[in-house]
Amino acid sequence: MKLYVGNLSFKTTEQALEELFATVGTVTDTHLVMDRMTQRPRGFGFVTMSSEEEGQKAIESLNGKTFDGRPISVSVARPKEDRPPRRDFGGEGGGGGGFREHRDRDRDRDRRGGGGYDRRRN
Predicted pLDDT at 80: 79
| Most trustworthy range by pLDDT among 5-9, 38-42, 106-110 | 5-9
Predicted pLDDT at 76: 97
- Answer yes or no: is pLDDT of 96 > 60: no
Question: How open is the CA angle 57-59-60, to the nearest 5 degrees?
Answer: 65
- DSSP 8-class letter at 84: P
Give the pTM.
0.67
Q: Which domains, ranges and CATH numbers included, belong to the chain?
A: 2-79 (3.30.70.330)
Q: Where would I find the beta strands (DSSP E) of 1-122?
A: 2-6, 27-34, 41-49, 66-67, 70-71, 73-76
| Residue range 21-71, pLDDT digits in tens | 999 999 999 999 999 999 999 999 999 999 999 999 999 999 999 999 999
Instruction: Report the C-alpha gap between 91 and 82 in whole angstroms.
Output: 25
- Is residue 72 within 8 A of residue 6, CB to CB? The reply is yes
